[in-house]
Chain A
Amino acid sequence: MIEIKNLKKTFSTRQGPLEILKGINFEIKKGEIIAITGFSGSGKSTLLGLLAGLDRPQSGEILYDGKNLNQLSEPEAQKFRAQNLSLIFQNHYLIPHLTALENVVLPLQILGLPFESQQAENLLTQVGLGDRLNHYPSELSGGESQRVAIARGLIIKPLVLLADEPTGSLDTETGNKVMKLYFDLVRQNKLTSVIVTHNQELASLCDRELKLSQGMIAE
């Protein structure tokens, strides 16, 4: 479903060009949950940014069902991302002046898709926040906020759910609870997911783990 071919990414620094990804190749099957692990600075987040179409590589291909993301124009890439990909961050990044429910329906509104708020309410109920629909992010705990972010990620029924250190800001117990919920929902909705993490325990729960080291995949 997702094919990554010879992906390279270089950043310019004051000391000269810095090659973060040195020609990466891998495939992800539909419905598969992949963990990308590695030390800090190994290029995990850079890779996720490229997969999400938020950044462009120097060379290589990212194919979603055969469609090369890098050959799409900026507006086409933006449209593709909006319709097919969802991102979940380490810090949940909810809009502080919107309620949990409003945060969840926002992606649908942006895409101009018809929606019933019942849809979002159901999702929030599924993540255990059925009674916190009208609460603002400041009134939610870190774990609860992350669950809202998961619900927001799921609302557009994406092809792929990309998560960047989703438990990074949570304590172990909360992190485990949130991820259990995450796996349940991803599997239940037969989604494909890529999780960037350095948490080995979390990586071991995924279908497969890809280790990034010195800009290369060391599977």
Chain B
Amino acid sequence: MIWSLLYSLKRLWRVKSRLLIMGFFLALGFSGWLTGESAQTSIKAYLAQNAKQILSADITVSVRRELKPDELKTLETLTQNQGQLAKGYEFFAMITAGEDTRLALVRVIDDSYPYYGELKLDSPFVAKDLRNGNLWAYEEFKSLIDLKLNQKIKLGDSEFSVSAFVSEDKTQTFRLASLAPRIFIHLSDLEKTNLIKFGSTFTTTYFLKANPETDVEDLAANLKKALPDPGVDISNYISLPDEESSPTQRLADFLGLTSLVTLLFSALSLFYLIQVWSLEQQKERALLSTFGVTRFQLFFVELVQSLFVALTSTLISVGVVLLLKPIIETGLKNWMNQSFDLAVGWQEILLILGSQFILLIALSNPFSKSSQNSTSQLLKNNFVTQQSGVLRFAPLFLLLWPYAILASQSLRNGTYFFGGLLFISLSLVFFGRISINFLSKLKWSSWKSSLAVKSLRRQSTASWAFLFTVGLSSSLLNLIPQIQSSVESLLKFDEVQSRPSLFMFDIQSEQWPDLQAYLNEKNIQPTATSPLVRARILKVNGENFERKETAGQFQSREEEESSRSRNRGVNITYRSYLQNGEKIVSGDEFPLTYNSQQKYAFVSIEKRYAGRIGVDIGDIITYDIQGIEIEAEVKNLREVKWSRFEPNFFVLMQDGLLNDAPQTILSSLPYLDSNVKNEAIKTLANRFPNISVIDVERLMESIVQNLEKIGGALRLMTYLTLLTGMMTIIFLLSAESQRRAFEIHLIKILGADSSSILTNRLTEVLILGSISVLVGVSTSFAIAYLVVDQVFQVSFTPNFLPAIGIILTVLAVCWAITSFSSRLQLKKQSYAFLKKEE
């Protein structure tokens, strides 16, 4: 053992520069990972620390209706002596200020709100009393409708005065799509607005500030048991409600996933580096084994070396992250409107140290004994027979899968991410093989090209390492601009024209004739008018459909989504036709009109929603619709294009059964000229104050703006990926020239002039570079198409400019590095070089 340690230390000193290079490349990848990890940890820590503020209470009980008297009694009984209880509402409504009308998210609060967190008002001198017709508004209204302090605004049937602007709301978290900014009114002023009545869409929330001695989780669990309706949502700050934290966490998860790519590049470089230096190392091992050194001792030497590299790399990685800290913190603040303290904790440091150590050991595989390189062969020859083939990279990719799942905390997202990388890699393997095989079948008149193609075909490990690195880098680099350009195309005029201009909800049935008359008068034809019937699921196949309980935090995002879908009521529509954006994807079509002879009514369920609530074709669902039980059979599953911004529903029932049920109406107005649109908004707000109107174009703008913010986060990771990718490519190319030095000098001695040798090297690198970058960029178009189509549900608009830029840049880098490093080699004395090699 002592010998091993002494030998390890001596060896460390001898190959220190080499190990430092390895440490540098390892650090390059792990810096990205550590950045992603620490951003993720900081965001999660922020959410945990601010859970009470976000919830603004210890426990909240929310329901999209008023609590029934018995439910309220249960709530009051259970919370008696447990703390203070306050009531609030939230709903959308139109506000009119002067000539402008806008949708607002109205939060109705009492004096005690918020129990935790803070609503920062813009001036300490403003009247903070909300009673008596006062209103606080988000500052966004200043720019949206030029709202001023003390200005009168109309909300429902009542008039309010703006007594303060809210400059910071700690109860609000980052959201991708915010339909409208918030306003706050007092509970005592709600009634006169006349906005909450039958059919209105609103949420009633009870906020509980628990006594210090109250066991919050225990009380929340008791409330869940006592209020069994899954539509009643009970949240506590310890398990933060997912709707609040989810978008922010997902962004953090995505950052984590992107940073894994830099890790992959780093591993590829390292793998290649180990290959390049493996001859000497294997020779040394072979020599030591002839002296009787055991495999365990050799392994020990490897351990010490790996530990040294991992430590060096960890130090560099931490240094890089600390350098990037201010940039990332500013970025996060910009994207999420909240300050984050990016901390690199011991946990992360130990995690990357451990991961690097394991990675190094796995890559160098000190226990392996190559069957093709016996000890005697190793000592005699000047080259190692490399196990050829792409399968050498398989462990690297397989390691990435669990990491991706861990980083995204989602089997589905992690697997999608891994699947994407696998798709790119398999495409590279497939097209790479086909192209190289094709090229090698051609008859090359020039030895330079012929040798280049043979080299590509036969030096597979080096070729594949290069192909993967360049291909994956190019693909990832092109992916983000492609997705971005397609999403931005939502704002293009023809796209805007194909969508409705206004989306109206909470229309009372009795208002519909008047509304239609007004629209007829203005010659506007409403589209996709749909009734909305509120219901809740009682049973599925006779089994009670219960609230989904989990102990503590959700284990995965899928669990979280499923729980959210179950623990909420459901809106059902009925129609005798399918809309343009709807398509049946499985099951049978059914007559869209109900026949009283049917045993069950037929329903069509949106495919993803069906998955989340766990129902399938043939299942019988019992709905409670205003106290009446209705049984329905799931006849088919539908896909719905939500991005059309038309009234769409998870559940579509046959026409004829629910027509007399209490209902409201949703409708949309087709593309309108902006003057007509503004006038319509104003008139609707005046004549039908309870109807909420969403300006679809404005909503799209807000989504794109938020996407732009997320794009910023992604771009930072992309730049880091780009840097790692480029460094990896540059390193691979120069290492390849070094590895091929022997060949360069031999060919020179055999009579080739320098320019021919350079042409040979460039031909080889540019062929491989072209295959990699073309396949990489093409696969990114395919992946971008899928993401845009499936996630954003918009038509894919390819943007060829960044793709061309990436192709040219990568090829230019290949050319420049190969020329430079080959020229350096060619300047050396070939004979002296080869003699030295002996």
Are both chains from one complex?
yes
- A contacts, CB < 8 Å to B: 45, 49, 52, 54-55, 75, 78-79, 81-83, 87, 89-91, 93, 95-98, 102, 106-107, 109-112, 136-138, 142, 152, 156, 164, 168-169
Are the CB atoms of B455 and A110 closer together than 8 Å?
A: no
In the complex, which residues of chain B have a beta carbon less than 8 angstroms from the beta carbon of A75?
753
How far, in whole Å, are A93 and B458 apart by their CA atoms in the complex?
17
B383 contacts A by Cβ under 8 Å:
yes
B749 contacts A by Cβ under 8 Å:
yes
Are the CB atoms of A169 and B380 closer together than 8 Å?
A: yes
How far, in whole Å, are A142 and B372 apart by their CA atoms in the complex?
15
Are the CB atoms of B837 and A97 closer together than 8 Å?
A: no
Q: List 30 A-B contacts (CB under 8 A).
A: A49-B835, A54-B749, A54-B830, A75-B753, A78-B751, A78-B753, A81-B751, A82-B750, A83-B751, A91-B838, A93-B834, A96-B383, A97-B454, A97-B455, A97-B458, A98-B451, A98-B454, A98-B458, A109-B447, A110-B447, A110-B747, A110-B750, A110-B756, A137-B383, A138-B372, A138-B385, A142-B380, A142-B381, A152-B750, A164-B835
Contact with A along B553-585 (1 / 0, CB 8 A): 000000000000000000000000000000000
Known: A109-B450, A110-B447, A110-B751. A91 touches B459 (CB 8 A): no
Query: Residue A106 contacts which of B385, B447, B756, B835 (CB distance < 8 angstroms)?
Result: B447
How far, in whole Å, are A111 and B756 apart by their CA atoms in the complex?
11
Known: A49-B831, A54-B831. A107 touches B838 (CB 8 A): no
B832 contacts A by Cβ under 8 Å:
yes
- B contacts, CB < 8 Å to A: 372, 380-383, 385, 447, 450-451, 454-455, 458-459, 742-743, 746-747, 749-753, 756, 829-832, 834-835, 837-838
In the complex, which residues of chain A have a beta carbon less than 8 angstroms from the beta carbon of B385?
138
Return B835 CB to nearest CB of chain A, in Å. 6
In the complex, which residues of chain B have a beta carbon less than 8 angstroms from the beta carbon of A78?
751, 753
Return B440 CB to nearest CB of chain A, in Å. 12
How far, in whole Å, are A82 and B447 apart by their CA atoms in the complex?
15
Residue of A nearest to B444 (CB): A109
How far, in whole Å, are A98 and B751 apart by their CA atoms in the complex?
17
How far, in whole Å, are A164 and B451 apart by their CA atoms in the complex?
26
In the complex, which residues of chain A have a beta carbon less than 8 angstroms from the beta carbon of B451?
98, 106, 109
Return B826 CB to nearest CB of chain A, in Å. 12
How far, in whole Å, are A54 and B829 apart by their CA atoms in the complex?
7
How far, in whole Å, are A81 and B756 apart by their CA atoms in the complex?
16
Residue of A nearest to B385 (CB): A138
Best-surrounded residue of B382, B743, B830, B831 (most CB of chain A within 10 A):
B831
How far, in whole Å, are A111 and B112 apart by their CA atoms in the complex?
92
Are the CB atoms of B459 and A97 closer together than 8 Å?
A: yes
How far, in whole Å, are A159 and B382 apart by their CA atoms in the complex?
29
Residue of A nearest to B462 (CB): A97
How far, in whole Å, are A62 and B743 apart by their CA atoms in the complex?
28
Are the CB atoms of B383 and A107 closer together than 8 Å?
A: no
In the complex, which residues of chain B have a beta carbon less than 8 angstroms from the beta carbon of A112?
447
In the complex, which residues of chain B have a beta carbon less than 8 angstroms from the beta carbon of A106?
447, 451, 747, 750
Known: A78-B753, A107-B751. A91 touches B454 (CB 8 A): no
In the complex, which residues of chain B have a beta carbon less than 8 angstroms from the beta carbon of A90?
838
Return A72 CB to nearest CB of chain B, in Å. 14
How far, in whole Å, are A88 and B383 apart by their CA atoms in the complex?
18
How far, in whole Å, are A152 and B753 apart by their CA atoms in the complex?
18
Give me 13 other A-B pairs in contact (C-beta within 8 A), A107-B751, A110-B747 excluded. A49-B835, A52-B831, A87-B749, A90-B838, A91-B838, A93-B382, A96-B383, A97-B454, A110-B751, A112-B447, A136-B458, A138-B385, A152-B750
Closest 5 CB pairs of A and B: A82-B751, A109-B447, A97-B458, A54-B831, A138-B385
In the complex, which residues of chain B have a beta carbon less than 8 angstroms from the beta carbon of A83?
751
How far, in whole Å, are A23 and B834 apart by their CA atoms in the complex?
25
In the complex, which residues of chain A have a beta carbon less than 8 angstroms from the beta carbon of B830?
54
In the complex, which residues of chain B have a beta carbon less than 8 angstroms from the beta carbon of A79?
751
Residue of A nearest to B750 (CB): A107
In the complex, which residues of chain A have a beta carbon less than 8 angstroms from the beta carbon of B756?
110
Return A135 CB to nearest CB of chain B, in Å. 12
How far, in whole Å, are A82 and B835 apart by their CA atoms in the complex?
19
In the complex, which residues of chain A have a beta carbon less than 8 angstroms from the beta carbon of B753?
75, 78
How far, in whole Å, are A142 and B376 apart by their CA atoms in the complex?
11
Are the CB atoms of A89 and B834 closer together than 8 Å?
A: yes
Residue of A nearest to B835 (CB): A45
Return B371 CB to nearest CB of chain A, in Å. 12
How far, in whole Å, are A169 and B380 apart by their CA atoms in the complex?
8
Best-surrounded residue of B372, B380, B749, B756 (most CB of chain A within 10 A):
B749
Return B26 CB to nearest CB of chain A, in Å. 28
In the complex, which residues of chain B have a beta carbon less than 8 angstroms from the beta carbon of A142?
380-381
Residue of B nearest to A142 (CB): B380
Are the CB atoms of B832 and A55 closer together than 8 Å?
A: yes
In the complex, which residues of chain A have a beta carbon less than 8 angstroms from the beta carbon of B454?
97-98, 102
In the complex, which residues of chain A have a beta carbon less than 8 angstroms from the beta carbon of B749?
52, 54, 87
Known: A81-B751, A107-B751, A110-B750. A93 touches B742 (CB 8 A): yes
Return A156 CB to nearest CB of chain B, in Å. 8
Return A203 CB to nearest CB of chain B, in Å. 20
Are the CB atoms of B837 and A91 closer together than 8 Å?
A: yes
Residue of A nearest to B755 (CB): A75
Return A104 CB to nearest CB of chain B, in Å. 11
In the complex, which residues of chain A have a beta carbon less than 8 angstroms from the beta carbon of B455?
97
How far, in whole Å, are A152 and B747 apart by their CA atoms in the complex?
12
In the complex, which residues of chain B have a beta carbon less than 8 angstroms from the beta carbon of A49?
831-832, 835
Return A39 CB to nearest CB of chain B, in Å. 16
Residue of B nearest to A80 (CB): B751
How far, in whole Å, are A52 and B749 apart by their CA atoms in the complex?
9
How far, in whole Å, are A87 and B750 apart by their CA atoms in the complex?
8
Known: A97-B454, A97-B459. A110 touches B742 (CB 8 A): no
Return A78 CB to nearest CB of chain B, in Å. 6
In the complex, which residues of chain A have a beta carbon less than 8 angstroms from the beta carbon of B750?
82, 106-107, 110, 152
In the complex, which residues of chain B have a beta carbon less than 8 angstroms from the beta carbon of A87?
749
Residue of A nearest to B383 (CB): A96
Best-surrounded residue of B750, B752, B837 (most CB of chain A within 10 A):
B750
Residue of A nearest to B456 (CB): A97
How far, in whole Å, are A156 and B749 apart by their CA atoms in the complex?
13
Return A100 CB to nearest CB of chain B, in Å. 14
In the complex, which residues of chain B have a beta carbon less than 8 angstroms from the beta carbon of A81?
751
Return A174 CB to nearest CB of chain B, in Å. 11
In the complex, which residues of chain B have a beta carbon less than 8 angstroms from the beta carbon of A95?
743, 746-747
Are the CB atoms of B383 and A55 closer together than 8 Å?
A: no
In the complex, which residues of chain A have a beta carbon less than 8 angstroms from the beta carbon of B372?
138
How far, in whole Å, are A110 and B449 apart by their CA atoms in the complex?
11
Residue of B nearest to A90 (CB): B838
Known: A54-B830, A97-B454. A91 touches B382 (CB 8 A): yes
Query: Residue A55 contacts which of B450, B742, B831 (CB distance < 8 angstroms)?
Result: B831
How far, in whole Å, are A95 and B829 apart by their CA atoms in the complex?
19
In the complex, which residues of chain A have a beta carbon less than 8 angstroms from the beta carbon of B835?
45, 49, 164
Return B331 CB to nearest CB of chain A, in Å. 47
Residue of B nearest to A92 (CB): B382
Return B75 CB to nearest CB of chain A, in Å. 78
How far, in whole Å, are A138 and B371 apart by their CA atoms in the complex?
13
In the complex, which residues of chain A have a beta carbon less than 8 angstroms from the beta carbon of B381?
138, 142
How far, in whole Å, are A138 and B455 apart by their CA atoms in the complex?
15
In the complex, which residues of chain B have a beta carbon less than 8 angstroms from the beta carbon of A109?
447, 450-451
Are the CB atoms of A93 and B746 closer together than 8 Å?
A: yes
In the complex, which residues of chain A have a beta carbon less than 8 angstroms from the beta carbon of B380?
142, 169
Return B372 CB to nearest CB of chain A, in Å. 7
How far, in whole Å, are A95 and B834 apart by their CA atoms in the complex?
13
How far, in whole Å, are A107 and B325 apart by their CA atoms in the complex?
57
How far, in whole Å, are A164 and B832 apart by their CA atoms in the complex?
12
In the complex, which residues of chain A have a beta carbon less than 8 angstroms from the beta carbon of B829?
54-55
How far, in whole Å, are A95 and B748 apart by their CA atoms in the complex?
13
How far, in whole Å, are A119 and B743 apart by their CA atoms in the complex?
24
Return A21 CB to nearest CB of chain B, in Å. 15
In the complex, which residues of chain B have a beta carbon less than 8 angstroms from the beta carbon of A156?
751
In the complex, which residues of chain B have a beta carbon less than 8 angstroms from the beta carbon of A91?
382, 837-838
Residue of B nearest to A164 (CB): B835
